[in-house]
Amino acid sequence: MNISVVIPLLNEKESLKELYDWIAKVMQSNHFSYEIIFIDDGSTDGSWQQIETLSKHDANVKGIRFLKNFGKSQALHAGFAKAKGEVVITMDADLQDNPEEIPELYKMIVNDNFDLVSGWKKKRYDNKLTKNLPSKLFNWAARKTSGVKLNDFNCGLKAYHNNVVKHINVNGEMHRYIPVLAKNAGFLKIGEKVVQHQARKYGETKFGMDRFVNGFLDLITIWFISRFGKRPMHLFGALGVIMFAIGLSFAVYLGVDKLFFHPYGRLITQRPQFYISLVTMIIGSQFFVAGFLGEIILRNTPDKKRYLVKKELNF
């Protein structure tokens, strides 16, 4: 199979038929073998019934229905697990991503040997103050922190080689950082393509300003995980050694000063250096313990499923 199109959605009933027709037209005109995987992330507007209708008329349409809303990352994870195509295309269900971009994205993966190609919505039709400006700040921070040189991390339109989606673990709200996850997994050939962005035709956006706050917090998380996720003791142990060494230095200084230079001076407990020494040694010990606990947890945590599937179609 050439292409798997993975589409997570939440309450997008009005756009599904139009999106399906558009994708099918592109696929058939380019003679691709394909599947369209809709992941209904707990919709309440009849989106699943629309997916069922589409799947009855076209075996290429497949569906996964979550028991409730688990989030876009979990929806992508479920779609990636089922995808069979050599190239996996992700896109949003709101008609803001243009399916006409799919053939070129496919060629970049197959012919140019990219592991991942991310769309770049260079010209956007979103609100400049509430979406465009925060998005630019977010992307700048993501580039600086991750080292992945992309202009638009959060674009839903992306293309992956099948090997990539089978070897990355998308959870929490890490869908924004899939290129970073791919890089950390060893897939280094990451490209970018300017894609057409379209104004939303139906409904309202499901994301508010809080997504940017969460995005920056997730960025810190992924930075930590990418550097110390497999070796937490390297961070906490190093901090523990530094803090304990500072405390021990103050303790030695106080002891030497009291024994040899000022034996009749102030009591050690009356000097601020004593409390600096005590606090830093305690903090250093706590960092060390945190590192050990992190190592123990890492080695004993089973891989838990982060979503519950209610129903599947055509798999």
Sequential DSSP letters for 13-61: HHHHHHHHHHHHHHHHHTT--EEEEEEE-S--SSHHHHHHHHHHH-TTE
**pLDDT score of 233:** 86
Q: What is the pLDDT of residues 124-141, one digit of tens each?
A: 665 556 566 777 887 888
If you average pLDDT over every residue of the chain, what do you get? 87
Distances (CA, A) of 312 to 48, 91, 309: 10, 20, 8
At residue 295, the pLDDT reads 80
CA distances from 76 to 43, 62, 168, 289 (A): 15, 14, 11, 36
Measure the CA–CA gap between 16 and 22, rounded to whole angstroms: 10
> Residue 310: pLDDT band by 50, 70, 90 thresholds?
confident
Looking at the DSSP bridge assignments, the partners of residue 61 are: 36
Per-residue pLDDT at 163: 95
Q: If you average pLDDT over residues 30-58, what whole number do you get?
A: 96
Write the pLDDT tens digit of every residue in 51-70: 999 999 999 999 999 999 99
pLDDT at 242 over 70: yes
- Read out DSSP for 67-89? SS---HHHHHHHHHHH--SSEEE
pTM for the model stands at: 0.75
pLDDT of residue 69: 93
Residues linked to residue 62 through DSSP beta bridges, in sequence order: 37
In angstroms, the CA 35 to CA 6 distance is: 9
d(CA 129, CA 254): 57
Average pLDDT on 73-78 reads: 94
Residue 304 has pLDDT above 80, yes or no: no
- The alpha carbon of residue 191 and the mean position of all alpha carbons in its chain are separated, in whole angstroms, by 17
- DSSP-assigned letter for residue 258: I
- Report, as an integer, the average pLDDT of 221-240: 79
The predicted model gives 307-312 an average pLDDT of: 83
